[in-house]
Structure 1
């Protein structure tokens, strides 16, 4: 009797794994606003804790062994460092290799905003999802629950420019550790632009966001068939 092979589920590189825990709180501190502009810092801050625009990033452990990621995936969460790595270098979020790129630009997948009836939203769309190679774009449309529910749209962007970050805004708490600011639910998924300099020193970033410009909607199945 032949045995049925069990398909090993593909886990995107940026997906958070069991055992990978945030490790920012212990060493997170804040300078008062009147002191050199104020802002968050780590008491043991080192290279890599800030991006090129000076924003502080959340720390999170990594479950790696011999450069292989281990642990059960937490499908709805992304790892801050790995998401940042892929988004900064424009690498495929699935395999950390070069994403699909044609004369129309880099390949991204996005879900339409609630209530959208046209594609007017695509130009200037803000995304925290790094680009994809063709192979893993297909996998994402087949297995990503969010994209399956909302309806994935394949986009190509000629200019996916850096926009800002998603994260948690903090405020100074005197000599005590800084505390997260209480914001309304409308701010939960709103990225902070790098241009808002009064807030960027006070955000602990967890995802890098790009603004898609020069956008074209493409047919993913046709591109796969054509091998583009």
Structure 2
């Protein structure tokens, strides 16, 4: 949804540039991907403990210069996306995501045909939202105006990562791992050591539809 938010100010107080958007000054920092010493996954040559999450996934390195340069709408900043997911922050304003007795608020594209019971068990890579930002997104995003689903999620669970999946070198003379393409890899999967993560995925469980009535009285939630 962030790809379609306008850059001008909004009188609702909703940020014009979503928190998880990457800025042009936040170029990827140095760090060539290589094989781990045991050849059972990927690593950085100069890897530090901060390069991996607690589940062992290697993360894409990016700069931290929010607000500098131009916003790259549609490009998600890995570190801020990850923080928003782990702390249940709104992907637009970075305040607490909206929560009520039914659960945390998520705003999704409408993909009911993907599987029976969608979005139950969905691996969502967009963080949740607060209610004011959700309503503003419906006004400003052409895609969401055409089709969207708002849901409350009672039991969200960190499910895995989305990123570039690598494989072993293609031949005996090769030493660099081979990029295979983007993939969503669950935590605990044997492929976790082979993925360069760029987004955290949340498994949505116990979902209830929310109609987001713009006229209803509903104060911004607090932590």
What is the TM-score with the length of structure 1 in the denominator?
0.80
Separation of aligned partners in 2, 1:90 and 1:213: 15
Of 44, 53, 60 in structure 1, the residue corresponding to residue 62 of structure 2 is: 60
* Higher-strand-fraction structure: 1
Aligned-residue RMSD, C-alpha: 2.4
Q: Contact between 2:108 and 2:148, CA under 8 Å: does it hold in 1?
A: yes
Q: Counterparts in 2 of 1:1-228, with a 5 A limit?
A: 7-8=8-9, 10-23=16-29, 26-31=31-36, 35=38, 38-64=40-66, 69-113=67-111, 115=113, 120-149=117-146, 151-173=147-169, 176-181=175-180, 183=181, 188=182, 190-197=183-190, 199-221=191-213, 225-227=216-218
Give unpaired runs (5+ residues) of structure 2: 1-6, 11-15
Where structure 1 has 5 or more consecutive residues not aligned to the other structure, the ranges are 1-5
CA contact (8 A) 2:112 2:119 kept: no
Give the helix-richer structure, 1 or 2: 1
Does the residue aligned with 1:87 lie in a helix, a strand or coil? helix
8 A contact 1:31–1:172 mirrored in 2? no
How many residue pairs get matched?
205
Shift of 1:148: 3.1
Deviation per CA, 1:99-153, whole angstroms, max 9, x where unpaired?
Answer: 110000000001122746x98212112211111111111122222344234x121
